[in-house]
Amino acid sequence: MTTQNLLVELFVEELPPKALNKLGAAFSTVLAEQLKAQGLAAADAVVTAFASPRRLAAHVTGVLAQGADKAVQQKLMPVAVGLDAAGNATPALLKKLQALGADVNDPAAAVAALKRAPDGKADALFYDSIVKGASLQAGLQKALEEALAKLPIPKVMQYQLETDCELPGWSSVNFVRPAHSLIALHGSTVVPVKALGLTASNSTQGHRFEAKVSPVLVPHADQYADTLKNDGSVIASFAERRAEIVRQLQAAAAKVGNGARPIEDEALLDEVTALVERPNVLTCEFETEFLDVPQECLILTMKANQKYFPLIDASGKLTNRFLVVSNITPDDASLVIGGNERVVRPRLADAKFFFDQDRKKTLESRVEGLSKVVYHNKLGTQGERMARVCAIAQAIGQQVGGDLLAKQAEQAARLAKTDLLTDMVGEFPELQGIMGGYYARHDGLSSDVAEAIEDHYKPRFAGDDLPRNNVGLVVALADKLETLVGMFGIGNVPTGDKDPFALRRHALGVIRMLIEKDVDLGLPELLALSAPVFGDKIAGGADALVDFIYDRLSGSLREQGFSAQEVDAVMALRPARLGQVNPCLSAVRAFAALPESPALAAANKRIGNILKKAGEVDAHVNPALLQEDAEKGLYAVMQRLLPESEAQFKAGDYTASLQTLAALRAPVDAFFDDVMVNAEEMDLRLNRQGLLKSLHVAMNRVADLSRLAA
């Protein structure tokens, strides 16, 4: 059968920019999947998605006008139900065949055409038929309806659409935005499908202001992108439009010189790509006096409010230039540039005003105001929360660095949340912590304390930097632990994909800090320091929180490339010092690569089962009670290797500690081949169990090696 490429476009009012790329991908994916499922497109058909502010489109290669007929075998019913004792068709069978369109005028012939085959415990009757392949119009209609129904639209709008002139009136349509036209081209042939009250044609609209013709007529499915670009002044491909914006941004920055480069922000780039149909990057500037305001404030207001790309110099410092991605390309761009400069000026002036006003009050003077801000109805105000964080930070600081660190951590924790009461953070919540650092420096506080205030929310997301100094590390730990202990203490735990207090992120933040900074405190110890500060506000939750953190750690380690067996072996011991986890994993990986590993892991599992059945066993061996050569040999090797392995373990060389034990393979194998552990004589049995207990303890210092057994 001959095939043609297919193009489907839905032309609408401006789509939500933050969702555009996802909408375009979903529309094309579902449409193609449905065509493939109906046999109208091959499994390897190439699907190209298009998405611009006012259109969603998909191009699918190799689409049939008529799907191939299919041979279908359908189970009817058990033979005992379909045929009577004489082998004739029962009324139930005839009714079923008639419903399937079979000829039942000659019942005997109809029965003869059926097949019998075993189906479970009894034979069943099967009916073979040929199902005619779907036509493109019917198949595309179904695929289009499915693609529209499955669009990831959080909220639809309802609008009125005028019906055709033969039946004048209005009908209600529900969609993300009002739709105006529909294209469906199979090659150059229009497929007359319908959707959202529209009938397909080959007509669409181009750029609102710069299209060369209106309407834009697409002659062939393969000419869609070129026709829109040439006649409609629209770059239909999201990816192509995005790449063009990147190219123009870099070219404009290069013209500014001095190593200038646009701020990197993938989300902003995606959003701007979804706002323009044909990008034109222009260079604008603002007064240098605004550069006295912290650059984070200026960058945020330009990005969030105006969708501009600020320019930074080679050292990362903000310049007074910024780039605008315009949707029009006038001969004289001065009016567009001037308009954008006028628009941004009040925004920057507001930021400067907030910054100047906020500095008139010290952070210390704002502490009392935290008691008037509700944090959680069961956990009190921000003031009460601040006091808890202070107590936890002071306790951790004392353990990690003594009096000085404890004092600095308490001071930073006391002031860390005060910038929530400033005008700047009230306008831009994303700047919390950052503005606190600026205001702390203005108040004359030490750089350690100022950086700690700025960094105490870190890490905010996966891959984010950790706090820069020990004060910040202690306060960040205290802040996240207070949240975790408090929320678990009142039973407010994550369920499914719901995690309103970002407890998963907080747990991963604690894990990263403990591991990457190798904090000399165990996780149980930290939680024990944190729980008492809540008094009677919380009840329980400690065990669930420990499980939660270790589960998050296990998941994170698997994402980093460690195998499930390796992770399970290390995490089975619930290591208190999380800084030891990665060295233990590396040691387990090295051990697992040894040829002795499988046998020792299996033996370790066997020893564990023996000891579990034996109950309480003392790790003590009386050499005088060793009778068999194999147990004497194992004991002798243990006397030589176990002290060496233990010394390596205590020195932190976990890899060497495990590899030293690899020499136990032969004597362990001989022991299990030649020695009856559960001897009838009680003293022999206990002595042999004690020997295995000593071996088990030594083998499982780094990890539970039995988890490596197949």
Average pLDDT over residues 30-46: 93
Task: For residue 258, give both structure tokens.
Answer: 């001095």
Q: What is the pLDDT of residues 94-111, one digit of tens each?
A: 888 888 778 878 888 888
Q: How far apart are CA 110 and CA 119, in angstroms?
A: 21
Query: Is residue 166 over pLDDT 60?
Result: no
Task: Tell me how far apart the alpha carbons of residues 573 and 550 are, in angstroms, rounded to a whole number.
Answer: 11
Instruction: Tell me, letter by letter, the H, E, C secondary structure of 572-597.
Output: CCCCCCHHHHHHHHHHHHHHHCCCCH
Distance CA 169, CA 651 (A): 86
Instruction: Examine the pLDDT at 167 and tell me if it is beyond 60.
Output: no
- 3 state SS of 69: coil
Which residues, including other chains, have CB under 8 Å from residue 620's CB and lie 6 or more apart? 690, 694
Sign of the four-CA dihedral 86, 87, 92, 97 = negative
> Quick one: pLDDT band at residue 75, thresholds 50, 70, 90?
confident
Over residues 525-545, the mean pLDDT reads 91
Instruction: Show the domains of the chain with their CATH numbers.
Output: 3-67+135-231 (3.30.70), 71-131 (no CATH), 238-358 (no CATH), 367-545 (1.10.3210), 582-708 (1.10.730)
Give the pLDDT confidence score for residue 171 in this predicted structure. 79
Is the per-residue pLDDT at 165 higher than 70? no
Instruction: Look up residue 662 and give its DSSP letter.
Output: G
Q: Kindly state the helix (H) or strand (E) to which residue 209 belongs, with its residue range.
A: none
As a whole number, the mean pLDDT across the chain is 92
- Joined together, the tokens standing for residue 687 give 């002595």
pLDDT digits (tens, 9 = 90+) for 337-355: 999 999 999 999 999 999 9
Position 185, amino acid: L
User: What gap in Å lies between CA 170 and CA 412, rounded to an integer?
Assistant: 64
Q: What confidence tens digit (pLDDT) does each residue in 215-273 have?
A: 999 999 999 999 999 999 999 999 999 999 999 999 999 999 989 999 999 999 999 99
pLDDT reported for residue 174: 86
The answer on pLDDT for 205 being more than 70 is yes
Neighbours of 34 (CB within 10 A): 20
Taking the CA atoms of 550, 552, 554 and 560 in sequence, report the sign of the dihedral they define: negative
pLDDT at 643 (0 to 100): 94
CA dist 650 to 309, 563, 578, 620, 655, Å?
Answer: 54, 26, 16, 21, 12
Tens of pLDDT, residues 625-646:
998 999 899 999 999 999 999 9
CB-based contact 537:531 (threshold 8 Å): no
Over residues 600-614, mean pLDDT: 89
Tens of pLDDT, residue by residue over 266-286, are 999 999 999 999 999 999 999
Task: State the average pLDDT over residues 673-696.
Answer: 90
Range in 12-16, 86-90, 412-416, 515-519 the model is least confident about: 86-90
499 Cβ contact list (under 8 Å, min separation 6): 505
32 pLDDT more than 80:
yes
Residues β-bridged to residue 185: 7, 190
pLDDT for 252 equals 96
Which DSSP helix (H) or strand (E) runs through 366?
A: helix 363-366
Q: What is the C-alpha to C-alpha distance for residues 549 and 545, in angstroms, rounded to an integer? A: 6
Quote the pLDDT of residue 265.
94
Cα–Cα dist 366/431, whole Å: 17
SS3 408: helix
Tell me which amino acid residue 614 is: A
Which has the higher per-residue pLDDT, 417 or 118?
417
**Distances from the Cα of 20 to the Cα of 396, 455, 497, 587, angstroms:** 47, 34, 23, 47
Write the pLDDT tens digit of every residue in 490-516. Answer: 999 998 888 989 999 999 999 999 999
Q: Is the pLDDT of residue 2 over 90?
A: no
What average pLDDT does the segment 182-198 reach? 95
| pLDDT above 70 as % of the chain | 99
- pLDDT band for position 614 (cuts 50, 70, 90): confident
- The proportion of the chain whose per-residue pLDDT surpasses 90, expressed as a percent, equals 77
Report the length, in residues, of the chain: 710
Amino acid at 556: S
Cα atoms found within 13 Å of the Cα of residue 112, Cβ hemisphere only = 4
Sign of CA dihedral 281, 282, 283, 286: negative
478 neighbors 526 (Cβ within 8 angstroms):
no
Helix intervals (H) in 52-90: 79-82
pTM: 0.80
* Angstrom distance (rounded) from CA 410 to CA 391: 7
pLDDT tier at 163, thresholds 50, 70, 90: low
> What are the strands of the beta sheet with 318-326, ordered from one edge?
261-262, 309-312, 318-326, 280-285
Q: State the pLDDT at residue 101.
A: 78
Residue 164: pLDDT above 70? no
Residues 524 and 399: their CA atoms lie apart, in Å, by: 14
- Indicate the pLDDT class of residue 710, thresholds 50, 70 and 90: low
The Cβ of residue 285 has, within 10 Å, a number of other Cβ atoms equal to: 14
In this prediction, residue 6 carries a pLDDT of 97
Dihedral of CA 338/340/341/342: which sign?
positive
E strand segments, 120-241:
122-131, 157-162, 170-175, 179-186, 189-190, 194-195, 198-199, 203-204, 216-217
